[in-house]
Structures are given as structure tokens and as C-alpha cells.
Structure 1
Amino acid sequence: MACQQLRSTSLPVRPHALVLELEDELQRLRSGAAASAPSPAALAGRLGDAYGRIEELVRLPGGRDALSSARWRRAVEAGLDASVALLDLCERARDAAAVAKQHVRAARRALRRGDAALARAAVRGYARCLAKAGKQAGARKALGRRAAPADAEAPAAVKLLSEAVAVTVAVLQGVLSTLSARVVDTRKSRWCVVSKLMRSDWSLGVCRDLDGEDGVLSAQETLQELEDSVEAVESGLEHLFRQIVQSRVALLNVLTL
């Protein structure tokens, strides 16, 4: 009986279902960010949901025990430090989305008034502010490496925290890059007419080549679609910001209580 009990306790412990779900979702999010997912708002929202699941993992007895262990304290503290930088990046991305939305609205107003130069300046301002925020996110790629535990035997909860840091940087950069590229993407017909606003030789009288529709009307419709997309990203980033805060609070409670 004792021998049987010894053999049973030596069997490998199966990962908690939540761990497996998070591993799969973080991998999908990383792949989506790398592939410039067509719905950046959904990408940001899903990442926020993943942080909600991380908070659940932190509160589980197994996760709490692993994260509060003295052996992994340094790795957990590195993750906490990284979360501060992530919140800053998320806030910058959210602010960039808000500014980009104002540029889109300015371009629509300019088109209604027939001011091609002002519309062009607004679209360029849109692309510029998003590109700048995307570069800021790209410059923080080392965050994931710094938060990663040095020991390969680290518990799943510790590894997932560091993986979430790296995925968050990749998603933020991917979301901003996707939005920025839309106004210069001439391969897709619905963005082609807006990309013409970036050209110095564009005028309101010559853009009539999108499915036979008037170019100005097509640009207005596409800009409205773009504004809706940016607004959805702004909402997704707000959700992500709140979820990172909540997961950080849960982690701090594990270390201090």
C-alpha cells in the first residue's frame, strides 16, 4: 500500500485547465500581432480578457503558493516592475488612438469644406502619431526578457506572467502599426482612396476611380469607418489598462498578505 502511494505521488502533475487556456490564448495573441490582425480592437480586447484570466490564476491556491514562494520572488517582482512599464505603454497607445481619432475627424471636416490641403495634413498627422507610439512600444521589447525567470523549472504561473509581458508589447505595437498602415495601404480598395490624401498632387476634382463613386464621398465613408475602428481600439485599450491594473493588484496582494 505504501509502495502504491509512493508511485502515485511521483506521477507528473497535470497543468490546471486555466494554465492551458492562457498558454494557448497568449500564443494566438502573439501570432495575431505578428500577422497584423484585421481587427486590432478585438486583439486589444482579447488581451484584456487574458489579463482577467491571469488575475484568476493568481488567486488560485496553486498559483498563489507558487508566486509567493521565496524562490520565485525576484521573478515575480520583475513582473511587477514590468507591469508599470506596460501600463505606461498602454496609456500612451490609448492617448495616441485618441489623438488619431481627432485627426480623422479633422480630415472629414476638411473634405466637407473642400480643403484638400487640410485633409491631407490631418491624415498625415494621424499616421505620424500612431507610428510614433508604435515605435515607443517596439523599443520596449526587452521588457519580456527582463521579466522572464532565469530558471527553466519556474512554475507555470511565473512563466505566464513573463509571457504576458512580452505578448502585451507585441500586441500594442501590432495594433498601432495596423491602424497606421491603413491610410497608406494601396492594395485594399477601401483604403486606396484615403491613401491618395497622403499625396501632394491629390486634388478634390480628380479622385473618381473607386467603383465609379465620387472620390470625396468614398473618402468620407472610409474615414468614418476608420474613425469607428480607432474608437473601438481606444475602448479595447481602456479595457486592457483596467485589467492590467487589476492583475497587478492581485499580484501585490499575494506578495504582501
Structure 2
Amino acid sequence: MAGTSAKLGSHQPSRSISLPSRLHPKSQKIEAQLNKLKTEWDLSFSSRETPIGSDTIQSGLTALTELYASTKELIHSPLTQQALLQNHSRKTMEETLDTSIGLLDACGAARELLLGMKENVQSLQSALRRKVVGDSSIESNVQSYISFRKNARKEVAKSLKALKTMQKNNLFVHDQDHYHHLQPLQMVTKVLSELSTIAISIFGAIFVFLSMPKVANGWSLISKLVPISSEKGQKIFNEVGSVDISLFSLQSQLRKNETKIDVEIVRRRLESVDVCIDGLESRLDCLFRCLIQHRVSLLNLLTP
């Protein structure tokens, strides 16, 4: 997954676009939003030595939602509609409509994974709160969470593969020097295609964030390097990966029937990831509604 995430999370060096104000009164605002998101999102991945955290992804989702809301006005611009009647770039706009389905699927898949994770996290938190020495419910809940994470890994791999295909099919060309030489509809489709490129990258980051840490030499080695009583795991892995590490270590302790088990680190990491899930869920919900409205706008534009 690491190789896939690197491809999804990286862009070619980006140049600022420049939309003519005649396209829409708010075109300059849209231009500024898009260029700002491109710059911030590119920088968030450059020379990154640690996995991307939830805060960066949440910021990206918020900015992406705002941009999709803004482009709705661009799509309904009289110049855009007039150009469509003249059949300029209609095929490209139809392909943009197809891409919108893939983005909705990716958003829906991420929401499902987060929902499943939230349920397992809350079950674990409940079991740890009523912790009693020898209580088998803790080990049972830990095993359920680990099993869920292993199954989720398959869904993550499938979603990343779909995003990679979408990325290849996206028709945006990174040379942005010729916006002023394009027809209005071509400008719109180029903006939407570039926006799709960023959306694919952000969704890719979400799925990588939700994936299990890839460990070549097994979890036993990681448990030794990052013991459950240490906070190093939070620095080496993202919030989700840190919980995985802690639970594999806790599971090992439970199986050895160790009497002194400190679950405070696990509790804190579960609380941290629970907060992350809430933040990601709320932003994905907003984006999902925005993507639906975006698709409806495209359908209305293309439907006589």
C-alpha cells in the first residue's frame, strides 16, 4: 500500500491557474481557493517522514467541500451553458460526470470504514472501562477489533486500486498555461478535472490513514521497539496505526496472562482515534452531500 499511497499523494509541480472574470463574477475567488488547496495539499506530502495525520486530512476535506460548493456557480454560469449548447467539450463534461460517480463511491466507502471502526472502538472503550482482572471480554473485544482491521485492509486495497484507475482516466493535463486560450466550457472542465485530481489524492490519503501499518518482520518486533507503555508509537504511526500497535501488544500480554496490565496508553489512543473518526465523519458527510449536489448540477447541465 505504501507504493500506491505515494502515487496518490503526490503531484507534479503545480502552476497557478488564472480564470478570466468574464466566466463568472466569482471566478477569481474559485481560482484562489483552488490554487491555495493545491499548494497546501502538495506541501503536506512533500518530504514527509511520518504518516499523514487526521488534522491535515480534515483540513483538506473542508477546503475540498468549499471548492465543490463554489464550482456549482461556475457550472451554472450562462457562458458555460451557452458553450454547451454549441457542443464545445461536451464529451469531456460527460466524462467529468462519470468521475463524479467514482468520487461518490470513494466517499461512501470511507464513511463505511469509519462507521465500522467507530463501533469497534466504542466496544473496546466500554470493555476497558469495566476492566476486571481475568475478564475475557477485553481479549474478545481486542480480537474483534483486530479482525475488523484485517478485513478492512482488503476494502482499503480495493478502494486504492479504484482511485488509481480514476487517476489514470482523469483527463486533466498539468500544463495550465493556456487557460485564456480555451473556450468557457473547456475552462470549466479543466477546473473540474483538476479538482477531481485533488479529491482523488485526498481520498487516497484517507484510505492510507485507515490502512494497517505494514510491518516486514512481524508485530512482535514492533512491540519490542514501541512498547505499550511508550508514546513513541504516536510519533511513528498515525492515530489509527498507534491503536493497532497498542492492541497487538495488549493482546500479547493478555495471552501470557500477565497480571499487571497498564491499559491507560490504550485508552488514551482509543480516545484520540475516536475524536479523529468523529472529525473525519462529519467532514465526509458534508463532502458527500456536496458531491451529490455537484453530480446533480452536472446532470442538469447535460440534460436538455
- Give the TM-score category using the shorter length: 0.7 to 0.9
Tell me how far 1:63 sits from its aligned partner. Answer: 3.8
Query: 1:186 is paired with a residue of what secondary structure?
Result: helix
What is the rounded CA distance, in whole Å, between the counterparts of 1:146 and 1:69 in structure 2? 25
Q: Does 1:198 align with 2:245?
A: no
What SS does structure 2 have at the residue aligned with 1:188?
helix
Q: Give the secondary structure class of the aligned counterpart of 1:201.
A: helix
Q: What are the residue-to-residue correspondences of 1:113-192 with 2, within 5 Å? A: 113=131, 114=135, 115-125=137-147, 127-128=149-150, 130-140=152-162, 141-148=164-171, 155-180=186-211, 186-188=233-235, 192=242
Structure 1 residue 159 displacement after superposition:
0.7
State how far apart, in whole Å, the 1-side matches of 2:156 and 2:43 are. 16
Normalised TM-score (structure 2): 0.66
Displacement after TM superposition at 1:194 (Å): 5.8
CA separation in 2, counterparts of 1:44 and 1:70? 33
1:240 pairs with 2:287: yes
Equivalent in 232, 248, 270 of residue 223 of structure 1: 270
Q: Which residue of 2 is the match for residue 3 of structure 1?
A: none
Amino acid at match of 2:142: R
Say whether the 8 Å CA contact 2:156–2:210 is kept in structure 1: no
Cα displacement (A) at 1:19:
4.0
**What CA distance in whole angstroms lies between the structure 2 residues aligned with 1:222 and 1:45?**
24
Report the AA paired with residue 280 of structure 2.
V
Counterparts of 1:131 and 1:207, CA distance in 2: 32
Deviation at 1:206, TM superposition (A): 7.3
CA distance in 2, matches of 1:162, 1:61: 20
The 8 Å contact of residues 116 and 197 in structure 1, kept in 2 or not, is answered as: no
Partner residue in 1 for 2:108: 91
Contact preservation (8 Å) 2:118, 2:274: yes
> In the alignment, residue 171 of structure 2 is paired with which amino acid?
A
Q: Deviations over 1:36-62 (max 9, x none)?
A: 244133332322222111212212233
State the secondary structure of the residue aligned to 1:98: helix
Give 1 or 2: higher helix fraction: 1
Deviation at residue 201 of structure 1 after TM alignment: 2.0
Structure 1: segments with no counterpart, 5+ residues: 1-11, 209-214
Q: 1:67 to 1:106 in 2, by over 3 A?
A: farther
* Structure 2 gap segments, 5+ residues each: 1-17, 22-26, 216-231
Which of 25, 34, 39 in structure 2 is aligned with 1:23?
Answer: 34
**What is the TM-score of this pair, normalised by structure 1?**
0.76
Q: Residues 234 and 125 of structure 1: is their aligned pair in 2 closer, same or farther, counting only changes over 3 Å?
A: farther
Separation in 2, partners of 1:111, 1:76: 52
Deviation readout 1:198-244 (Å, 9 max, x if unpaired): 23523485777xxxxxx313322321221121122112111111101
Structure 1 contact 194–223 (Cα < 8 Å) conserved: no
The Cα of 1:253 is off from its aligned counterpart by 1.7
The residue matched to 1:202 in structure 2 has which SS?
A: helix
TM-fit CA distance, 1:78: 0.4
Q: Residues 126 and 50 (structure 1 numbering): CA distance in 2 closer, same or farther, change over 3 Å? A: farther
Count of aligned residue pairs for this structure pair = 240
Q: 1:76 aligns with which of 93, 97, 112?
A: 93
* Cross-structure match for 2:67: 50
CA distance in 2, matches of 1:80, 1:138: 20
Cα RMSD (Å): 3.4
**Seq. identity, %:** 22
Matched, 1:255 2:302: yes
SS for the counterpart of 2:275 is helix
Q: Against the structure 1 CA distance between its residues 69 and 52, is the aligned structure 2 distance closer, same or farther, given a 3 Å change threshold?
A: farther
Deviation at 1:77, TM superposition (A): 0.2
Letter matched to residue 103 of structure 2: L
Query: Which piece of structure 1 moves more, 42-51 or 243-252?
Result: 42-51
Q: Which amino acid aligns with 2:273?
A: L
